[in-house]
């Protein structure tokens, strides 16, 4: 067989906000596609009109775009295999339903919901399959004339796949190895419903994988039970030699490790489970998102990439390009990955450290503005360069460096008691004169001059530095004193020290 171009798809159903586990699935598809010089397709699986949620599709596209997960084809991206929204492909599916019916791999069933319910009561663990289908009202038990008459009379029906029992179906999974399932445990899934003239997920998903020439199906482990039907339908249609390879990703687990990560875990422990903030159009509920919570997209990508996969060494901080190079489906874990959201914060911290100060300053400017501060971008850049190692989120910068922008008007009581001594006012008054005479005002020379003066006077270095810090910051925290004086400049430094002398005496 000639080597086909790698083509993978992310195929969400627009039933709500995209869960962080779905984001990881999209990411792995992206990494795999790019690594292999292949294409990534965005297919919207919207055949279930009952579960359709307006806004969900736009949300998915916006979220993945924000994260830098780009599609080569699909809804919103164009391409030669469209349309990419399943609701726009009705005509296409009809033909394949007919093909299966003609070949005897599917049949028409008229059982009403009441009849099915009655059977479920009568037969324990009822399943519509080879063991029961001959007791039901379908085209296998009715004559062709009866079947036709029922359809012509306008009775609703479904088309079911006719699974041949007692056959081992082999699913080759790149993560799980060979998975063998006996066809007897599969049911005759509904492929098409006359009521809405739409195929179900099962048919549309598989037909589209074929028509879109998908080579690898990378998706969540909850879809593993659908894989045998994928294999069987490819065979029934005569497409077995282009069967995609499967890779079923393990679940994201609760931080405690027991059970699947849910939205409730996020609410309970205070972290987002969605990439972007989501406004539920039905309930009006608002769920927090990584973007609005202050995460950098690179950090989210890196964090998710390592939930269930590792590069085989202890490297953790990896750019998208590095991830593309290193990604390997065979290194994805078979067991679930605990959702360690603290690690997500750690990644955000790492990416803030690596980011250019200019970019961080640009992100911080709007927050300064919210606090009524209009600052010179170059000054903001200098301040964030000094302070960013103390934060995991841009918004935390305000807490740690507000004093660079707003002079203290009050002094922390505890620090004052401890740090402002009897002779602080007198000493700092002298210190002001030393500073005033000193030029330039850079870190090193100011520090040298201050220390020489303190030594010549026999003053206590710690006392003077602590009192100065209280004057400049308003409390006992902050970076190196002479980093602060240099940033604030001579005038502002002197003004603040003078004010402390006036207020604290
Ligand atoms: N529409 C399915 C979903 O919502 C896609 C499953 C698959 O990728 O085959 O996840």
- Whether 299 is in a domain gets the answer no
Q: In what side-by-side order are the strands of the sheet with 245-249? A: 73-74, 39-42, 7-10, 216-220, 245-249, 168-173, 177-182
Whether residues 245 and 362 fall in one domain: no
Whether residues 381 and 233 fall in one domain: no
Establish whether residue 66 lines the binding site of ligand 1, counting it when its CB lies within 6 angstroms of any ligand atom. no
pLDDT of amino acid 257: 87
388-420 per-position pLDDT tens digit: 999 999 999 999 999 999 999 999 999 999 999
Percent of the chain with pLDDT over 90: 95
**Residue after which a domain boundary falls, among 230, 249, 268:** 249
Whether residues 236 and 377 fall in one domain: no
Whether residues 116 and 234 fall in one domain: yes
pLDDT of amino acid 396: 96
Q: E strands of 265-387, at which residues? A: 278-279, 286-287, 337-338
- Whether 240 is in a domain gets the answer yes
Q: Which domain holds residue 362?
A: 358-504
**Residue after which a domain boundary falls, among 227, 249, 271:** 249
Whichever domain contains 468, its CATH number is 1.10.10.350
How are beta strands 177-182 and 190-193 bridged, if at all?
A: unpaired
Q: Is 277 exposed, middle or buried (0-12, 13-18, 19+ CB in 10 A)?
A: middle
pLDDT of 1 higher than 60: no
pLDDT of amino acid 393: 96
Establish whether residue 12 lines the binding site of ligand 1, counting it when its CB lies within 6 angstroms of any ligand atom. yes
- Whether 492 is in a domain gets the answer yes
Average per-residue pLDDT for the chain: 96
- Whether 323 is in a domain gets the answer no
Pocket test for ligand 1, best of 173, 201, 246 (most atoms within 8 A of CB): 201
- Whether 37 is in a domain gets the answer no
264-317 per-position pLDDT tens digit: 898 889 899 999 999 999 999 999 999 999 999 999 999 999 999 999 999 999
Whether residues 362 and 245 fall in one domain: no
**Whole-angstrom distance, CA of residue 241 vs CA of residue 235:** 9
Whether residues 372 and 237 fall in one domain: no
Whether residues 241 and 100 fall in one domain: yes
- Whether 77 is in a domain gets the answer no
Percent of the chain with pLDDT over 70: 100
**Residue after which a domain boundary falls, among 189, 215, 249:** 249
100-109 per-position pLDDT tens digit: 999 999 999 9
Q: What total of structural domains would you count in the chain?
A: 2
For atom 2 of ligand 1, the residue with the nearest CA is 12
- Whether 231 is in a domain gets the answer yes
Whichever domain contains 229, its CATH number is 3.90.800.10
Atom number of ligand 1 nearest to Cα 10: 8
Whether residues 235 and 364 fall in one domain: no
Cis before 83 (ω within 30): yes
- Whether 447 is in a domain gets the answer yes
The annotated binding site is made up of: 263
457-489 per-position pLDDT tens digit: 999 999 999 999 999 999 999 999 999 999 999
Specify the pTM: 0.92
pLDDT of amino acid 2: 63
């Amino acid at each position: 067989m000639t080597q086909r171009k790698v083509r993978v798809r992310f195929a969400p159903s627009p039933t709500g906000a995209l869960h962080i586990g779905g984001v990881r699935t999209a990411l792995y598809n992206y990494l795999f596609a790019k690594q292999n010089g292949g294409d990534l397709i965005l297919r919207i699986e919207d055949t279930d009109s009952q579960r359709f949620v307006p806004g969900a599709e736009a949300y998915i596209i916006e979220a993945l775009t924000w994260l830098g997960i780009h599609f080569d084809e699909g809804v919103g991206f164009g391409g030669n295999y469209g349309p990419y929204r399943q609701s726009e492909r009705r005509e296409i599916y009809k033909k394949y339903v007919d093909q299966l019916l003609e070949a005897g791999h599917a049949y028409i069933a008229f059982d009403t919901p009441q009849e099915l319910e009655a059977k479920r009561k009568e037969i324990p663990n009822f399943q519509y399959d080879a063991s029961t289908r001959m007791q039901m009202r379908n085209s296998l038990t009715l004559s062709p004339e009866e079947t036709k008459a029922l359809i012509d009379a306008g009775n609703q029906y479904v088309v079911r796949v006719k699974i041949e029992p007692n056959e081992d179906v082999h699913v080759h999974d790149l993560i799980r190895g060979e998975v063998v399932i006996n066809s007897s445990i599969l049911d005759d899934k509904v492929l098409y419903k006359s009521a809405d003239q739409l195929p179900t997920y099962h048919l549309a998903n598989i037909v589209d994988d074929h028509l879109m020439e998908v080579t690898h199906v990378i998706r969540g482990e909850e879809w593993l039970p659908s894989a045998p039907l994928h294999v069987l339908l490819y065979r029934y249609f005569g497409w077995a030699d282009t069967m995609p390879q499967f890779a079923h990703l393990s679940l994201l687990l609760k931080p405690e490790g027991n059970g699947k990560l849910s939205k409730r875990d996020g609410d309970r422990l205070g972290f987002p489970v969605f990439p972007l903030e989501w406004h539920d159009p039905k309930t009006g509920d608002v769920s927090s998102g990584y973007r609005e919570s202050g995460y950098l997209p690179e950090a989210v990508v890196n964090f998710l990439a390592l939930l269930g996969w590792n590069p085989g060494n202890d490297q953790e901080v990896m750019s998208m390009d590095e991830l593309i190079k290193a990604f390997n489906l065979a290194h994805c874990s078979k067991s679930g990955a605990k959702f360690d959201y603290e690690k997500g914060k750690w990644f955000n911290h790492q990416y803030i450290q690596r980011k250019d100060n200019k970019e961080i300053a640009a992100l911080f400017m709007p927050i300064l503005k919210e606090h009524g501060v209009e600052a010179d971008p170059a000054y903001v850049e200098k301040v964030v360069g000094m302070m960013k190692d103390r934060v995991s989120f841009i918004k935390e910068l305000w807490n740690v460096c507000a004093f660079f922008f707003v002079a203290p008007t009050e002094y922390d009581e505890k620090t004052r008691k401890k740090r402002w001594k009897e002779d602080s006012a007198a000493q700092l008054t002298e210190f002001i004169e030393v500073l005033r005479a000193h030029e330039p005002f850079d870190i090193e020379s100011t520090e040298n001059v201050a220390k020489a003066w303190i030594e010549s006077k026999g003053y206590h270095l710690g006392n003077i530095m602590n009192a100065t810090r209280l004057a400049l910051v308003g409390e006992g925290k902050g970076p190196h004193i002479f980093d602060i004086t240099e940033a604030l400049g001579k005038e502002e430094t002197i003004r603040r020290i003078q004010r402390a002398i006036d207020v604290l005496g």
